[in-house]
């Protein structure tokens, strides 16, 4: 064998190794549900909703009992997933465009209303590594009133090869709302089409087309955001079910929407099985914030846009190759998805990007532990709550309300529903956590509200 033959043989081996490495990259399917409460799944306590596909997904991977969204409203939570950074750091701290409260006691800061191009988002990191990337569903990361100026802030300008349905909307609008016709980018539909089903058609088609490529499917549902609309046959089913009088939940339309969500998840998972790629696919399921009603928050205090657990604690499931099924009570945050996906995919972490996230791989593989850390929330805005900040450190959670500096302290291990405010009984613990919270705000340059010179209690109360 001469030198030329040896060299060619070596190149062939290198090429084969490269192809095998490419083939070994796991696919990623990310399910993000809008306004989805912690207790809306049958596996998490609801005896009215039917969610067999999502329940099976939870059982086949790691379910985090203390998994959190980064904010109690949607746009900041969504940005935190993509960036791996806290809303307080990116200054994208409210749903876009937020509420106007000109006579409130505090003036909100001049915050960021778009997904910036600085830095590398996790879909961009996967695209750099050769992944095909698809965004399907709700985006809501650009100003609603500046659509023409902000065209380069749509999903296709942030690492996604295609955008199906993503625009400035925070909820479906138009003539049909959740039914045909849909005024959404790159979508077609026909009479009778239901939005969740139609988006799923595109998701399944993307998987079919890219089954031989490593791919990212980022399926960001509009459901179960209002206005509540569901398929008539499912609504009728849950009306009859509720009439039995056995159930505390009593909204058949919401339940029908949840079933359509579950069927959508099932269709995507079935397609992975059908193509023989399920065992090489990372699947993540979570929500952007709590449900609108406390009935769907699994007994937690609060709901969407409120400062307590019901607004931020979410279903948080991860399955994939090498992941041992189980339940983890370690507190984790949506900012952790970015480094976790890279780590599970065998890609180098980007520590300068996902600054507020850590890889959960040691927990998923049962190969180690996470270093103890605190989790933070920053909401310098008015919604159904007043501006506040919060910290969870160990089992304790402190909430600071910015208008008057009042504090609430809870022991989540023994009081998950936050019924007993311990701030006065445990002043040293409250002081410790408040000091940590203030230091964190300085470290990330979090924007704070300021005294409003136009404060008018009478006008504010009327509004």
Cα torsion for 411, 414, 420, 425, to the nearest 10°? -60
Q: State residue 5's pLDDT score.
A: 46
* Helix intervals (H) in 287-391: 309-312, 337-344, 361-364
Q: State residue 387's pLDDT score.
A: 98
Q: State residue 248's pLDDT score.
A: 81
Tell me which residue has tokens 């089992």. Answer: 395
| 74 noted as active-site residue | yes
- Full-prediction pTM beyond 0.85? yes
Q: State residue 4's pLDDT score.
A: 47
Q: State residue 16's pLDDT score.
A: 43
User: Domain spanning 26-369 has what CATH number?
Assistant: 3.40.720.10
Burial of 136 (0-12, 13-18, 19+ CB in 10 A): buried
Name the nearest CA neighbour of 138 among 192, 94, 180, 178: 178
CA distance 116 to 83: 10
Cβ neighbours of 135 (radius 10 Å)? 26
Rg (CA), the chain: 23
Catalytic residue among 74, 225, 249, 378: 74
Q: State residue 2's pLDDT score.
A: 52
Q: What is the DSSP string of 165-223?
A: S-SS-SS--SSSTTBS----TT----TT-BHHHHHHHHHHHHHHHTTTS-EEEEEE--T
CA distance 82 to 115: 9
Q: Tell me if 161 sits within 8 A of 127, measured CB to CB.
A: yes
Cβ-proximal residues to 160 (8 Å cutoff; 6+ apart), any chain: 123, 133, 134, 135, 218
* Helix intervals (H) in 243-352: 252-274, 309-312, 337-344
**Segment 94-149, tens digit of pLDDT:** 999 999 999 999 999 999 999 989 899 999 999 999 999 999 999 999 987 666 67
The stretches in the chain having pLDDT less than 70 are 1-23, 145-148, 463
Domain range summary for the chain, segments of one domain joined by + = 26-369, 377-462
Which tokens belong to 159?
């690492």
State how far the alpha carbon of 417 is from the alpha carbons of 297, 407, 408, 413, in Å.
10, 17, 13, 10
Cross-strand partners of 289: none
Q: State residue 18's pLDDT score.
A: 44
* CATH 3.30.1120.10 for the 377-462 domain, yes or no: yes
| 180 noted as active-site residue | no
Name the nearest CA neighbour of 28 among 161, 165, 207, 163: 207
CA distance 287 to 26: 23
Catalytic residue among 49, 91, 140, 210: 140
């Amino acid at each position: 064998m001469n030198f030329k033959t040896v060299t060619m043989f070596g190149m062939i081996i290198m090429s084969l190794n490269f192809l095998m490495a490419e083939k070994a990259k796991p696919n990623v399917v990310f399910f993000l549900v809008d306004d989805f409460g912690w207790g809306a799944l049958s596996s998490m306590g609801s005896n009215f909703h039917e969610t067999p596909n999502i329940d099976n997904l939870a059982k086949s991977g790691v379910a985090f009992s203390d998994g959190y969204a980064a904010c109690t409203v949607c746009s900041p939570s969504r940005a935190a997933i993509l960036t791996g950074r806290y809303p307080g750091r990116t200054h994208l701290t409210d749903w876009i465009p937020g509420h106007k409260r000109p006579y409130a006691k505090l003036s909100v800061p001049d915050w960021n209303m778009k997904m910036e191009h600085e830095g590398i988002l996790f879909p961009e990191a996967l695209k750099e590594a050769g992944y095909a990337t698809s965004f399907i569903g709700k985006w809501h990361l650009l100003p609603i009133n500046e659509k023409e100026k902000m065209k380069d802030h749509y999903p296709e300008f942030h690492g996604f090869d295609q955008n199906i349905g993503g625009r400035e909307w925070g909820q479906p609008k138009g003539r049909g709302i959740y039914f045909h016709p849909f005024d959404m980018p790159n979508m077609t539909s026909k009479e009778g089409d239901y939005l969740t089903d139609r988006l799923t058609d595109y998701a399944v088609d993307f998987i079919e087309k890219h089954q031989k490529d490593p791919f990212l499917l980022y399926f960001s549902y509009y459901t179960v955001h209002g206005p509540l609309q569901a398929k008539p046959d499912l609504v009728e089913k849950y009306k009859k079910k509720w009439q039995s009088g056995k159930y505390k939940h009593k909204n058949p339309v919401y339940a029908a929407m949840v079933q359509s969500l579950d069927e959508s998840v099932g269709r995507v998972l079935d397609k992975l099985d059908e193509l023989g790629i399920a065992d090489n696919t990372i699947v993540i399921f979570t929500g952007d914030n709590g449900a609108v009603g406390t009935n769907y928050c699994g007994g937690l205090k609060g709901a969407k846009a409120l400062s307590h657990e019901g607004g931020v604690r979410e279903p948080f499931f991860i399955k994939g190759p090498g992941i041992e099924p189980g339940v983890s009570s370690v507190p984790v945050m949506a900012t952790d998805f970015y480094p976790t996906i890279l780590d599970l995919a065998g890609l180098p972490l980007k520590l300068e990007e996902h600054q507020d996230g850590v890889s959960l791989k040691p927990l998923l593989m049962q190969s180690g532990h996470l270093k103890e850390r605190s989790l933070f929330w920053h909401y310098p805005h008015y919604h159904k709550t007043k501006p506040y900040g919060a910290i969870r450190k160990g089992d304790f959670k402190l909430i600071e309300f910015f208008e008057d500096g009042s504090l609430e302290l809870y022991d989540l291990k023994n009081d998950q529903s936050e019924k007993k405010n311990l701030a006065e009984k445990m002043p040293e613990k409250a002081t410790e956590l408040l000091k940590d919270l203030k230091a964190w705000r300085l470290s990330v340059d979090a924007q704070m509200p300021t005294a409003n010179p136009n404060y008018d209690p009478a006008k504010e109360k009327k509004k």
